[in-house]
Amino acid sequence: QDNRVSIWSAGDLGNAGLNGEYHGEPHLLCDIQHNGDVMDMQFLDRERIVVASSTGTVTIFRHHQNNQTLSANHRWEKAHYHVDQDTSCGGAACTGVVCNNPEIVTVGEDGRINLFRADQKDAVRTIDNADSSTLHAVTFLRTTEILTVNSIGQLKIWDLRQQRNEPSHIFSLAGDRVPLHCVDRHPNQQHIVATGGQDGMLSIWDIRQGTMPVSLLNAHEAEMWEVHFHPSDPDHLFTCSEDGSLWHWDTSTNVSEKPSFLHQGGRSTAYLSHSTINQSVVSAWLSNDPTKDRMEITNLIPNQTLSVNSLDVLGPCLVYGTDAEAIYVNRQLFA
């Protein structure tokens, strides 16, 4: 009932012990009340955080580092709504937000896409009927293009320079229209996109060709809530799920060269398509001959039973939140 946005200090890497284990407790720096469930949030810059609410409102909070407080810096009331913005119960959940300072894009249950600028009171652009179904997530493809995923298994590209309110491309899963919940694009090769959905499958798309995924990988046993390429080492990908698992997908080396002992979480090796021609040009994610090479998959939290709802990754650190009302930080991803 009472929701909050909180800033934590997870401490300093400097005081790790001899074996790399971390000493010191994370501590709460500040928090602020938030109206509605927090559906998504992202830093806009070092001080400002954009937060999406189940009420349809989008808020920018500012973190004042000198006195460790949070304040509401700007608010777009009912950026997402079902009937009209003025009715008291008309809000529709804002399901996803993505920032490319100063621009902010939001999507929602109302099938609407909003483009905001941090310093402007009104939306720069709104695509009212962008989708007839719920838009679950959004990400930037490049500065003027965004990708959205919806609840009928479609991935769409929108060019924000175009005035027409139609996607420039539509991709979709064949057969059953399985809702897609999350999307991320490869940081260096922008034509490679990963999505995850209700059936727990990981889909890899090459948006230069075709309208269907290049590969469908069996992943989780329940909904996949989040997918992220490692921002500086995109041979590594991370996915988390309602089934309580968090998988690390590693395409960086030929698994057969690695020692086969089991490490934390155990290892399952999936046969996956790869290309052995010039690795720098052909990404390991876009595959066509499954026998040539393999991928290493590790479940980073093998005995977890409660849903892993969200994750993020940077450098050697992985952070994730679960239904156990806990947030975990793993600082030794590549140890």
Establish if 148 belongs to a structural domain: no
More confident position, 331 or 246: 246
**Of 130, 165, 193, which one is at a domain's C-terminal end?**
130
CB 236 within 8 A of CB 250: yes
More confident position, 195 or 14: 195
Query: CA nearest 299: which of 267, 262, 274?
Result: 267
Query: CA nearest 220: which of 256, 187, 189, 181?
Result: 181
Query: CA nearest 42: which of 51, 33, 54, 34?
Result: 51
Establish if 149 belongs to a structural domain: no
Question: For the chain, how many structural domains are there in total?
Answer: 2
Residues 204 and 304 in one domain: yes
Helices then strands, each counted (H, E), the chain: 0, 26
Establish if 210 belongs to a structural domain: yes
Residues 112 and 233 in one domain: no
For residue 296, pLDDT beyond 80: yes
Residues 186 and 320 in one domain: yes
CB 238 within 8 A of CB 298: no
Residues 231 and 311 in one domain: yes
**Looking at 7-21, 94-108, 195-209, 275-289, which range is the least confident one?**
275-289
- d(Cα 194, Cα 215) in Å, to the nearest integer? 10
Quickly tell me which residue has 């979480």 as its tokens: 265
Residues 31 and 119 in one domain: yes
- d(Cα 50, Cα 213) in Å, to the nearest integer? 31
CB 230 within 8 A of CB 238: yes
- d(Cα 260, Cα 65) in Å, to the nearest integer? 47
Establish if 159 belongs to a structural domain: no
Residues 79 and 218 in one domain: no
Establish if 58 belongs to a structural domain: yes
Q: Quick: pLDDT tens for 83-93.
A: 776 766 678 99
Amino acid in the structure at residue 327:
I
Q: pLDDT-derived band of residue 276, with 50, 70 and 90 as boundaries?
A: very low
For residue 293, pLDDT beyond 70: no
Establish if 80 belongs to a structural domain: yes
Residue 44 structural domain: 1-11+22-130
Mean of the pLDDT values across residues 303-315?
Answer: 93
- Strand-by-strand arrangement of the 135-142 sheet: 135-142, 145-150, 154-159, 169-172
Tokens encoding 150: 């919806």
What is the reported pLDDT for 259? 38
Establish if 158 belongs to a structural domain: no
CB 125 within 8 A of CB 117: no
Residues 112 and 186 in one domain: no
Q: Quick: pLDDT tens for 40-52.
A: 999 999 999 999 9
Residues 204 and 313 in one domain: yes
- Strand-by-strand arrangement of the 215-217 sheet: 180-185, 192-197, 202-206, 215-217
Query: What average pLDDT is seen over the chain?
Result: 86
Residues 126 and 2 in one domain: yes
Residues 119 and 181 in one domain: no
Half-sphere exposure of 167 (CA within 13 A, CB side): 20
Query: CA nearest 144: which of 133, 157, 127?
Result: 157
What is the reported pLDDT for 83? 79
Query: By percentage, how much of the chain surpasses pLDDT 90?
Result: 67
**Of 130, 157, 187, which one is at a domain's C-terminal end?**
130
| pTM of the predicted protein model | 0.86
Residues 220 and 117 in one domain: no
The H or E element spanning position 41 is: strand 38-43
Strands 180-185 and 103-108: unpaired
CATH classification of the domain holding 78: 2.130.10.10
Handedness of CA 44, 324, 29, 314 (dihedral sign): negative
Q: Quick: pLDDT tens for 33-84.
A: 999 999 999 999 999 999 999 999 999 999 999 999 999 999 999 999 997 7
Residues 192 and 327 in one domain: yes
Query: CA nearest 160: which of 212, 104, 111, 81?
Result: 104
Establish if 320 belongs to a structural domain: yes
**Looking at 23-27, 86-90, 131-135, which range is the least confident one?**
86-90
**Looking at 23-37, 50-64, 281-295, which range is the least confident one?**
281-295
For residue 274, pLDDT beyond 60: no
Tokens encoding 257: 């060269």
Residue 256 three-state SS: helix
Query: CA nearest 256: which of 266, 245, 267, 264?
Result: 267
Q: How far is CA 130 from CA 26, 135, 148, 193, in A?
A: 41, 9, 10, 20
Mean of the pLDDT values across residues 216-240?
Answer: 95
What is the reported pLDDT for 288? 55
- d(Cα 186, Cα 217) in Å, to the nearest integer? 17
What is the reported pLDDT for 12? 63
